[in-house]
A = this chain, B = another copy of it.
Amino acid sequence: MKGSNPTSRDIAEIAGVSQATVSRALRNSPLVREETRQKIQQIARDLNYFVNRNAAGLRTHQSHTIALLLFDETEGRDAVINPFFLSMLGYITRAASSHGYDVLISMQQLSDDWHIEYQASHRADGLILLGYGDYVTYREKLAALARANTRFMIWGPTINDQPGHSIGCDNINGGYQATSHLIENGRRNIAFVGSTSKRAPELAARYAGYCSAILDAGLGLCERRKVSAWNSGGEGYRAVEELLERGEPFDAIFAVTDVLAIDAMRALEENGYSVPDDVAVVGFDDISLAKHVTPALTTVRQDIKLAAEGLVDGIVGLIKGEPVESSLMAPQLIVRASCGARSPASGPAASETGRRQSAHR
């Protein structure tokens, strides 16, 4: 079917040198005379030769590959990943590639046995874990990874005693910014939609930021304006209906994710409330949907590109045995129409200008 590929031995024969010299020349070793190197590399090009990664990997114990584990809480066979993580994937791949690493992807159900063998089987030198997860379940799996001496970086909250290194967003700050912005624009009764469970510490942190902003403004917290909702379709809608049933007045909603916020907006409008006139809405994540929805959703952006680069830098550092620190990134409020800001352009927050995703289609 296919003529077997040329090997370094073939090149050696043609060049009239030893196979060892070919190997050195191809790796640009300074030990090889310039002239010899040129000649060997030219032959390699002519033969369409590429180093056999299996052989090289076997020798060096490196795969120059990073495994990216994407897990989602979606049940069943649906392969629909949170768009937020999906877009991170692109940046991770680019960043990895600039470090000379390939990226292997793997979709995991939270309930699965994670593929901790990626590293043990020498398919990858390290892992990056992506997904909003249940950190209680997480914990023991992470511990198993750590026990197996696997190198890994997590996108998510930095939790005390959590095994491994992580890069996350300063969710408290993000929740604070979103809520403060609503308050600055005259809203007084701001409802909260989302999970505050300890199992989802990232979301709980956003709630904490929401609470601080309200207290700092001298407003009172009201339990009846807090509706618990998970991140799946329909939950935001349901939450708004519950809020309306309770009868507690509200003039704004801070939703922990854009998915919930968008769903909530629809519920509001179908119940006869105008967004943002009757109820202002702010979300979190800045998924690409956010700016296309009507009214365009004001939200808190996490810098996906920076996050991706941080994760890759981290894992490459771990592979090289360098010290790596967990870190937290600053989120940024993106003001659009749904918050009813008097003048989107004037505030201290960023306007649409400077968006990175301008060319997306």
* A24 contacts the other chain (CB 8 A): no
Residue-wise, chain A 63-81 has the 8 Å CB interface mask toward B (1 for contact) of 1010000000011111111
Instruction: Find A90's partner among B48, B80, B148 (CB 8 Å cutoff).
Output: B80
Closest Cβ of chain B: how far from A352's Cβ, in Å? Answer: 13
CA distance A233 to B291 in the complex (A): 13
Residue-wise, chain A 50-90 has the 8 Å CB interface mask toward B (1 for contact) of 11111101100001010000000011111111110011011
Question: Majority SS of interface residues in chain A?
Answer: loop
B79→A305 contact, CB < 8 A: yes
**Count of A interface residues, CB-CB < 8 Å:** 67
B93→A105 contact, CB < 8 A: yes
A360→B93 contact, CB < 8 A: no
Task: List, in ascending order, chain B residues with CB within 8 A of A75's CB.
Answer: 359
A120→B48 contact, CB < 8 A: yes
Best-surrounded residue of A49, A52, A103, A148 (most CB of chain B within 10 A): A52
Interface residues of A in 261-306 (CB under 8 A from B): 262, 288-289, 292-294, 305
Given contact pairs A54-B63, A121-B52, A294-B294, A359 touches B94 in the complex (Cβ within 8 A)? no
A105→B106 contact, CB < 8 A: no
* A18 contacts the other chain (CB 8 A): no
Task: List, in ascending order, chain B residues with CB within 8 A of A293's CB.
Answer: 292-294
B107→A94 contact, CB < 8 A: yes
Name the residue on B nearest A80 (C-beta): B360
* A246 contacts the other chain (CB 8 A): no
CA distance A149 to B75 in the complex (A): 40
Task: List, in ascending order, chain B residues with CB within 8 A of A83's CB.
Answer: 83, 86, 288, 360
Closest Cβ of chain B: how far from A340's Cβ, in Å? Answer: 18
* A97 contacts the other chain (CB 8 A): yes
Task: List, in ascending order, chain B residues with CB within 8 A of A321's CB.
Answer: 1
Name the residue on B nearest A74 (C-beta): B359
Given contact pairs A107-B93, A233-B361, A121 touches B289 in the complex (Cβ within 8 A)? no
Name the residue on B nearest A2 (C-beta): B149
CA distance A357 to B86 in the complex (A): 15
B105→A105 contact, CB < 8 A: yes
* A102 contacts the other chain (CB 8 A): yes
Task: List, in ascending order, chain B residues with CB within 8 A of A107's CB.
Answer: 90, 93-94, 97
Name the residue on B nearest A287 (C-beta): B361
B77→A94 contact, CB < 8 A: yes
Task: List, in ascending order, chain B residues with CB within 8 A of A233's CB.
Answer: 358-361
Lowest 5 CB-CB distances: which A-B pairs, in order? A79-B90, A54-B57, A2-B149, A259-B361, A54-B58
Interface, chain A (partner B; CB < 8 A): 1-3, 5, 48-55, 57-58, 63, 65, 74-83, 86-87, 89-91, 93-94, 97, 102-107, 117, 120-123, 148-149, 231-233, 257, 259, 262, 288-289, 292-294, 305, 308, 321, 356-361
